[in-house]
């Protein structure tokens, strides 16, 4: 070894540079939050979810209409309909005017109180039958529903008071043949029916302060229903908000409880391992194998619903009893994986107790997966509630839920689509928002699932 003297070695100045991190360190949750913020779909969903929760909690304060109150003047009214009503006198029986008329015509103003028709005897008629239709009578002679029949020509007038609503009706008078069957000769009249109310009704409904404020012939505005009314005249907006409380209560509380149960069960099973783990998981397997919807229905009838009960709690309990195993399996799998991780071993070597291991290392590391599961279980629970209420096995009427409202709305879907559209739309939006939020959370929290979509 020659040629290199000790003096030729020089100490280099050490720099701090190599040891400083270029970026501040982020915790798991800070990182997840930043990732979530960059996901626009998830953010919009989060916003929707929060507004739904606000609507549920604050809605009944802002729109304090009783969801069970019936407005019999406005049944199945779609939103945005003209609300003006004519004030008329109390109903008095029709004094039929003497004399004849030339053709089918109104004898009086057509109002929701009554429609009074007069006509001349049709050629060759042995009597007449009066029909009413919501649509024009086409070439297929769709006259609508028969209202009255007269088997001679002495009565040439008819008063209709059957469930009249503001709008257009088509009245037809059809000539009857000698055998009493309707012939081909007919006359049709288009009638625009005006909404009316009486002074007493207006006062009783609280539309005006006192009877002195209005007089016959005045026009006033009937009660406002921003989203219309249902088939019993109940306010849709109030019912939707009340239904949101039911649907979201079941949809959020039930998953919360059974996911928590699953976490505890899975964590115990995974941590204990061995025989205990096997027995616990076999039991979970059996519960998973139960056909879920059949047993939901079975449990619901087994718990029974007394008079005046809504059936929310039986449904909640049935869901909790049946749905915990999925989370339990998931958490157990996670715990089994984490148990073998280097940092857990290291912690053990440093003398950590089991409780410290569970609470410091294992549960926090499963939290991300659990949170994602929870967000996916919520739409599932909302769907289950809606499904059961739809087949009549869910909440009992008159308690509104979005599912039971859809069930009622679907029966009159052609004539009054708003009764189906609003609850169905709310279910869809809620489920969609939770699904997208779940996707976003999974991307943000679960490193392995990242960038697959």
Nearer residue to another protein within complex by CB, 185 or 317: 317
Binding mask 367-386 for another protein (x = CB under 8 A): ------------x---x--x
What x/- string results for residues 114 through 133 when contact with another protein is judged by CB under 8 A?
--------------------
70 phi, psi to nearest 5 deg: -100, 135
| Residue 445 beta carbon to another protein: minimum distance, rounded to whole angstroms | 16
**In the complex, minimum distance from the CB of residue 139 to another protein, in angstroms, rounded to a whole number:** 15
Neighbours of 135 (CB within 10 A): 10
Structure tokens at 166: 């503001």
Residue 279 is a binding residue for another protein (CB under 8 A): no
Cis peptide before 398, with omega less than 30 degrees from 0?
yes
The answer to whether 42 contacts another protein (rule: CB under 8 A) is no
Total residues at the site for another protein (CB under 8 A)? 41
Per-residue tokens: 134: 């919501």
Query: Tokens standing for 154?
Result: 């002495």
Minimum CB separation of residue 190 from another protein in Å reads 24
447 binds another protein (CB under 8 A): no
* Least distance from another protein to the Cβ atom of residue 28, Å: 23
Which residues, numbered 384-443, are part of the site for another protein (CB under 8 A)? 386-387, 390-393, 403, 406-407, 410, 413-414, 420, 424, 427-429, 431-432, 435-436
Nearer to another protein, 94 or 383 (CB): 383
Which residue, 122 or 320, is less far from another protein as judged by CB? 320
Q: How far is the CB of 43 from another protein (least distance, A)?
A: 16
Near another protein by CB under 8 A: residue from 301, 337, 341, 359: 301
User: Which of these ranges, 154-162, 168-176, 282-290, 349-357, lies near another protein under the rule CB under 8 A?
Assistant: 282-290
Smaller CB distance to another protein: residue 200 or 428? 428
Residues shown for the chain: 453
Looking at the Cβ atoms of 242 and 385, the one nearer to another protein is 385
Which of 115-123, 300-308, 330-338, 364-372 is the region at the interface with another protein (rule: CB under 8 A)? 300-308
Stretch that binds another protein, among 173-181, 198-206, 223-231, 293-301 (CB under 8 A): 293-301
Should residue 278 be labelled a site residue for another protein when binding is judged by CB under 8 A? no
CB of 282 to another protein, least distance (A): 9
SS3 call for 119: coil
Query: Which residues contact another protein by CB under 8 A?
Result: 285-286, 289-295, 297-299, 301-304, 379, 383, 386-387, 390-393, 403, 406-407, 410, 413-414, 420, 424, 427-429, 431-432, 435-436, 452-453
């Amino acid at each position: 070894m020659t040629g290199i003297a000790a003096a030729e070695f020089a100490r280099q100045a050490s720099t701090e540079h190599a040891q400083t991190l270029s970026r501040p360190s982020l915790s798991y949750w800070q990182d997840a939050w930043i990732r979530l913020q960059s996901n626009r779909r998830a953010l919009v969903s989060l916003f929707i979810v929060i507004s739904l929760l606000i609507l549920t909690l604050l809605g009944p304060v802002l729109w304090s209409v009783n969801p069970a109150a019936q407005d019999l003047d406005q049944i199945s009214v779609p939103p945005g309909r003209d609300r003006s009503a004519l004030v008329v006198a109390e109903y008095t029986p029709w004094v039929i005017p003497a004399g004849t008329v030339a053709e089918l015509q109104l004898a009086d103003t057509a109002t929701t109180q009554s429609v009074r028709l007069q006509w001349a005897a049709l050629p060759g008629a042995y009597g007449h039958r009066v029909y009413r239709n919501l649509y024009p009578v086409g070439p297929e002679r769709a006259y609508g529903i028969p209202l009255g029949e007269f088997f001679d020509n002495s009565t040439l007038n008819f008063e209709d008071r059957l469930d009249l609503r503001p709008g257009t009706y088509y009245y037809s008078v059809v000539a009857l043949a000698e055998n009493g069957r309707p012939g081909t000769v007919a006359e049709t009249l288009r009638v625009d029916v005006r909404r009316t109310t009486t002074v007493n009704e207006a006062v009783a409904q609280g539309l005006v302060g006192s009877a002195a404020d209005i007089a016959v012939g005045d026009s006033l505005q009937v009660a406002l229903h921003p989203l219309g009314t249902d088939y019993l005249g109940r306010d849709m907006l109030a019912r939707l908000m009340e239904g949101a409380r039911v649907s979201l209560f079941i949809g959020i509380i039930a998953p919360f409880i059974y996911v928590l149960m699953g976490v505890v069960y899975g964590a115990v099973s995974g941590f204990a391992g061995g025989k205990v783990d096997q027995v616990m998981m076999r039991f979970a397997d059996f519960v998973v194998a139960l056909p879920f919807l059949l047993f939901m229905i079975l449990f619901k009838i087994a718990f029974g619903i007394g008079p005046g009960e809504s059936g929310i709690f039986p449904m909640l309990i049935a869901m909790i009893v049946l749905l915990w195993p999925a989370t339990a399996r998931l958490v157990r799998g996670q715990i089994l994986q984490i148990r073998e991780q280097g940092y857990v071993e290291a912690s053990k070597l440093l003398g950590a107790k089991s409780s410290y291991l569970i609470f410091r290392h294992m549960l926090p590391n499963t939290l991300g997966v659990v949170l994602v599961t929870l967000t996916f279980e919520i739409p599932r629970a909302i769907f289950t509630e809606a499904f059961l209420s739809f087949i009549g096995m869910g909440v009992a009427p008159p308690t509104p839920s979005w599912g039971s409202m859809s069930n009622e709305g679907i029966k009159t879907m052609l004539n009054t689509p708003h009764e189906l559209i609003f609850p169905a739309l709310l279910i869809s939006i809620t489920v969609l928002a939770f699904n997208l939020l779940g996707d976003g959370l999974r991307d943000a929290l679960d490193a392995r699932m990242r960038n697959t979509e």
